[in-house]
Every structure is written in structure tokens, then in C-alpha cells.
Structure 1
Amino acid sequence: MSILIALILAGQPSFAEEVYQTVGRRFTFLPLTGFSSDDGIGGGFRLSLFDYDGETIPYARTFSLQGFFTSKGKWAHQFRADFPEILKGNRLEISVRYDKEETASFFGDLSEGDLLPFSEDERNFEQIDPFITVRLIRTLNAPWQIQFRVRTGKTYIKPKTPTNVIGILSPLGHDGGMLLQAGVAVRYDTRDDYVNTIRGRLGEAGVEWRFGDGGNFNSIELTIEHRHFKEVLNRVILAQRLHGIYTFGDIPFYERPKLGSSKTLRGLSADRFRDDGRILMNTELRWLGVRASHRNNIYAGANLFSDIGQVFPRRSWPKSDQWEVGVGVGLRIYWHSTVVRADYGCANGGSALYMRFSQIF
């Protein structure tokens, strides 16, 4: 989405072999600027505080604050707190977000030819999403865990013109609404570090209930996921993720499984495809890089990746001729427990550049 222009301020000294073995508080501050054809010129910051006790992996606790704006009206603001051991064997994560997009779109089954008569303003609408997410992961008999997740918020949809694509299609949720999500998942987690994994596996199977808008939204989502990490060479990691989603019931269009963006298939236009089910596989070869600063525990690395996925309707299976494929390269900056990810992906004749603050998985 954006290009990181490096401005890295001095942190506290750290000479431990692993960052979690340090003791004390560490700050990272990243001023950001970038440009993309979809979002325009952007700017903002990411401030993180990590508290290390020398034992807890990946840290004892962390707090982060992000603010980001673009000239085309995209906002991505977030406060996040993570407590890996808030009580013994219990991890608590809280996230508060405020997202805004003035050029959001939904095309349903319309082709590029179907969209030609519509102007850009008729294709796009404004979407605002304030929400809070609370997640609790309890270790049962390691490596077995159970996860509880609650998310609630309200989506606002505002078309730009009286005649518009979203109004003509009128999908469920075209005028927004409140939504409550509550889910539970069983997990099998042997990863050595969930922030930046070198080795291990994560398997997860979950179910989530979604309800809102006076009962108009009422659906169930089933998910299954497997992640595998292996150090194939010194500081070179083969990372793979297989993820599947299937939904039942009445779900607003903006919550349907999506394909395209930095979180799913890189290089494909953001959320270009939506449907009732999705299968996705991501493969990365990650080089953890070289230490750029001993004093501030900064590493610079790189990766190669491929993404393949498909969305499909209910009572159907993925089709062999409808897979979308993306490939690309990326750069990484590891600063204490902050991971800065810059990926350039190509898919379906298009390309995109993204900058994010965590590994894709």
C-alpha cells in the first residue's frame, strides 16, 4: 500500500542473543510516508512500547499506537495491547481500530465490461468501520489451546452519487449496521515465537457466530488453518499457511470472505473478489537477514513469496480454472519485536506495493 521511508530513532541498548532475553522497556517509533495509485499520498506513524522480563516469549507485554491518513481519504488508526501471560497460561489481546475508506467498492458478479458505463464516483462509496476486538487464548495441556474471540462495531456506508453500483446491487448490508461476533477455536501451537516464528506449527479449527442489524445479520463462519515453519538454512525460513473459510446464513457483504490485499493474495486489487467460501495458500521463503545495529537490535531481511487462492459460493467446490495466483518479493526490518513488512506482489495482470507491521502469518 505504501513505501516506507526509513527514519529510525535510537532505542535502548540491547546485547542479548534473543530480544526477549533483554530486561526493561524498549520503544520503537516509525514515521511513515508512502504513495499508491489507489490511496494517493499517505503519512502517519507507528509507536510501540515493549516490556521485556528476560523470560516471557516474545515479550512480557506490549502497547502500540498507529495513525495513518492518505490524500484519497483512507484512514487506518489502531491501538493494540498484548499480554502473553496476563495470568499463567492465558494470553489476552485487545485491539481498537478506526478504519475509513472513501473509495471502497463492491462489484458483486459484475465484469469489467459491465462496469464501463459507471463513473468512478458511481463505482465507489465511503465506508467507515470503528470496532473493538478482544481475544483470550488459554493453554489447556500444551501445546493444546482454546481461543475465545469477541468483536463488535458498526459499519457506515455512504454512496457518493444518487445512482451507484452499491445501490443497484443492494447486497445485504449495503446501508451498514451494527455487528457482534463471538467465536471459539481449538488450537495446536508449537511455534517458538508467535511474532516472528522460526520453527513450529499452528493448527486451528474454529466457529464464529455473527449477529446484528436487528437480526438481519445472522450467520455462522467455520474456519480451519494450518501453518508450518521450518529453518531450511541458517536464518532462512520456509513458511507455509493453508487457510479455509465457509459461511452459512445472512452475512453483510463487507464481512464475506475476500480475496486480494496484503492479508490474503498480494498483487490482486484489494477485496476484488468476495463470496461465501474461500481457500487460500501462502508460501514464503524468509531470510531473517543481517544485524544492522547491535545497539538497537535491528535486523534487515528479505523474502520471496507466492499466494494462491479462490472464493466460491455455497454448495459448491473450488474450480480448477478459477485460481488466482500472486508472486513477489519483500523486504523486512526487525527492530526489537516490531516487524516492518514491505511486499511487492504481481497477480492477474496487476501489481501492488504494501507496507505493514507484522508478518502476513
Structure 2
Amino acid sequence: MKNRLKVLFFVLFSGLMISPASGQGQLIRFVNRVLNDTSSAATSKLLIFPTAGFAPETSVEVGLRAFSLFYAKKDTTVNRLSEIVLYSFVTFKGQFGALLENAAYTHKNRYFFLGRAKYQQFPLLFYGIGPGTPSANPALVNSHYVQVRQRILRQVNRNWYAGIEADFQSLGRVTFEPDERNHFELPLGGNGSTTVGLGAAVVYDDRKNVLNVRKGHFLETGILWYRPGFGSDFRYRSLVLDGRLYRPLGRLNRVLALQLAGTFMTGDIPFNNLGLIGGESLMRGYYLGRYRDKNVLAGQAELRWLPFGFSRRWGGTVFAGLGTVAPTVGSFQANQLRWAAGGGLRFLFFQKKDIFLRADLGVTREGTGFYISLGEAF
């Protein structure tokens, strides 16, 4: 993530700033209970901790991140682990935002709710559209952005799910800096847009723990139509494919994870809805949106030691990925592939739930990105 650093500060470090000895003692005991949690896997967990970061376009950023982990009816024998994540932040320049993500299963995994809701008044860097955009002098885009995307899926045959999905996105109060109209042509949707898409999705999922998969498969195919009749300013179609494979290698603590993902769009698409490369999940090391276009194709592989053979709670990973964007499916070119690679450390945070805290450093030809989160990248 170019020129951007984001770090999580846990209560362990916050305790050093509390002056009363009794307060420090209580906080240390609390931290010890969190880091040495041995409660049963069925117990619901809520983890809340502060975050901080810095970027030139935002100055200092502070926020809170909360994870809720649970099994429906506290039944770990037939139900899969569900996750709800809430992240909110403000910056010293008065910008703010919030993100709510969910991957939740009902009892006996009959229904699967997968989605996100997002609001931000937060700048993004726009490098242009296409695989050959320069890395220097991106435009700074200020806006108010809202997205609500949700899939409601019904189990149709053991690990197969099918259902409906909807996507609402709104971009308003848009300004480009510098806004030199004679030298910079605004992209489609550059004055703001509202898009509404409705469609269907099919998912195959036999993973038991979505935050740390040791063996299994995941395949998602989803298609959305955006139409003026739905309330959309633009007419286009979006097809998303996401396939993942997880295999243990010899000992149970070693896992090979593979992912191949693609986004394929046709029609008139506003710039903020185009397919993206980068971020904390796919092509780590690139700024999210460094490359964007109607079509995206990317893959990554990751070798995980969870944990290391010589440790009970510490582990690590190495990963590498390739990806590119193109205006049409037929115009993908091998010489426009971009690479990303890196590694990270893992700490077994919830012992009974087999969930690790991750810290990853991604390296690209254009710079590096540093990410900290709970659970694996994919």
C-alpha cells in the first residue's frame, strides 16, 4: 500500500499509558486472559481493539476494529464458524468511515449470509484505467461513498449453496485534485454515480473454519445486472468468479492455499465500480485500486506454517501472486502481468477456535504494503 502504514495497537500496549498501578494490573490480567484464552470452541467471542495509521492523503488515522466469532446454537459438530467484522475510523483531517462485513451460517449451515456494508468520507488515489497506467502523480479523489452488498444463499445439496444477491453503490460530492479540466479528463462517473445491481450466486463451500482453512474448497460464481429500472445511473453486467483450494502438506500444521479470481464486466461502468487489483487480500503490496478496468484476472499461492514446528503459537507464511487488468477478455496480455510476493508472521490468538492474528508484508515492483488483521487473507 504505497505511502501508507497501518498498525493495530492492542490493549497490551495501552496498559503502559495507564498511570494507576491497579488499573495496570487489571489490564494486564485482562490481556493475559485474551492471549491465553482456553475457552471452548463453542463459546462466542467478541474482540475489540484500537487501530492507528498514517497516510499522506489522510494524515493520522485512528479507529476501532471489532470481531464477533460464533457457531450457530453453539454447535461445533455440524455448524461452521461465523464471522462478523466492524471497522470504523476517523482521521485528523476530519475524514471518517465504517465497514461491516459478514460471513454467517445458520443452524446446520442451511443459510449462508455473505456481504458487506460500507460508508466512507475518505480520499482514494486514482491512477487511471487500464494495465499501463503510470505510478506517478495519481489524482486524489475526495467523495462520500456508500456500498451495501449482500448474498442470501440457501443450501441446496450439502456443500452447494444458491441464492440471490444485490449491490447498491453511491458516490457523491466528488472532487478530483488537482482538478485541471484542460489536462485531466474525468472518467465515467467522475461527477458521482448511483448503481443498483440484482442477480444470483452459486457457491460451493466445504470449509469448516473460514478464518483458517486447513483443508477444503471454495468456489463462487455470481452475476449482477445493473439497470436504470432498478434505480441505476448506468447499465452494465458484472460476473465474478472466485475459486480456492486448501491442502495440508504432510504435517497438519503446513497448508498450501491457492486462489484464482476474476471479474468480467461489460457495459458502461463508472470508474469506482471497476474491477480492482491490490489491498490486503489479493495482490498484497499494491494500493487497492492501483490497477482497475472492466476485467481482472489474478491468482495467488500461499504456504502456511500454522504454527511452526518449534512453537505452539507462532507461525508464518510466504506468498506470491500474479494479476492484471484489461478492457476486454480478449485483450489480456502476459507482458502486462504484475507480480506481488511477500511473507508474514502468525500468532495463534484464539487457541480453541484455531484462529491466528496475521501480519503480512507484501512487496511489488512499485513498493510495499503492510497489513495486520485477524484470520488469513483468503
Q: State the TM bucket, normalised to the shorter chain.
A: 0.7 to 0.9
1:125-144 counterparts in 2 under 5 A? Answer: 125-144=141-160
User: Is structure 2 residue 231 aligned with structure 1 residue 205?
Assistant: no
Whole-Å Cα distance in 2 between the matches of residues 165 and 236 of structure 1?
Answer: 54
**1:174 and 2:193 aligned:** no
> Cα RMSD (Å) of the superposition?
3.3
- Who is 2:89 aligned against? 68
Amino acid at match of 2:200: V
In structure 1, C-alpha distance between the alignment counterparts of 2:110 and 2:364, rounded to whole Å: 41
Q: Give the Cα separation in 2 of the matches to 1:350 and 1:73.
A: 28
Q: Could you say which residue in structure 2 is the equivalent of 1:236?
A: 254
Q: Does 1:4 align with 2:8?
A: yes
Structure 1: runs of 5 or more not aligned: none
- Greater percentage in strand: 1
Give the match for residue 105 of structure 1: 126
Shift in Å at residue 87 of structure 1? Answer: 7.6
Residue of structure 2 in register with 1:183 after alignment: 199
DSSP 3-state at the match of 2:46: strand
Q: Which amino acid aligns with 1:66?
A: Y
Q: Deviations over 1:235-280 (max 9, x none)?
A: 1111010112211111111111112222321222331211121110
Check the 8 A contact 1:28/1:335 in 2, yes or no. Answer: no
Equivalent position of 2:333 in the other structure: 319
Q: Which residue, out of 11, 22, 25, partners 2:44?
A: 25
Letter in 2 for 1:226: G
Task: Pick which of 350-359 and 87-96 moved more.
Answer: 87-96
Give secondary structure in 2 for the equivalent of 1:254: helix
Aligned residue among 31, 34, 54 for 1:35 = 54
TM-superposition CA deviations, 1:148-188 (whole Å, max 9, x none): 22122311242255734799322211111222122312222
How far apart, CA to CA, are the structure 2 residues paired with 1:34 and 1:93? 28
What is the TM-score of this pair, normalised by structure 2? Answer: 0.79
Contact residue 73 and residue 101 of structure 1 kept, 8 A? no
Identity of aligned residues (%): 22
CA-to-aligned-CA distance 1:16-52 (integer Å, 9 cap, x gap): 6xxxx53443221222223355654322111233344
Q: In the alignment, residue 182 of structure 1 is paired with which amino acid?
A: L
Partner of 1:310: 324
| Alpha-carbon offset, residue 91 of structure 1 | 1.8
2:295 is aligned with 1:271: no
Match of 2:299 in 1: 281
* Post-superposition CA distance 1:210-234 (Å, at most 9, x none): 2459654111112222100011133
Q: Deviations over 1:83-112 (max 9, x none)?
A: 311686112245332123224324236854
The amino acid that maps onto 2:241 is: I
Instruction: Judge conservation of contact 1:268–1:348 (CA < 8 Å) in 2.
Output: no
- Maintained 8 Å contact 1:72/1:102: no
The residue that corresponds to 2:236 in the other structure is 219
TM-score, structure 1 normalization: 0.82
CA–CA distance in 2 between the matches of 1:203 and 1:131?
23
Q: Is the 8 A contact 2:48 2:66 kept in 1?
A: yes
Structure 2's unaligned 5+ residue stretches are: 13-30
| Aligned equivalents of 1:148, 1:356: Cα separation in 2 | 29
- Structure 1 residues 301 and 211, CA, compared in 2 at 3 Å: closer, same or farther? farther
Q: How many residues align?
A: 345
**Structure 1 residue 96 corresponds to structure 2 residue 117:** yes
Secondary structure of the equivalent of 1:289?
coil
Is the contact between residue 299 and residue 322 of structure 2 (CA under 8 Å) also seen in structure 1? Answer: yes
Of the structure 1 ranges 301-310 and 176-185, higher mean CA displacement relative to structure 2 is found in 176-185
CA 1:239/1:175 → structure 2, altered by over 3 Å: closer, same or farther? same
The equivalences for 1:47-62 within 5 A come to: 47-52=66-71, 53-55=74-76, 57-59=79-81
1:32 corresponds to which letter in structure 2? T
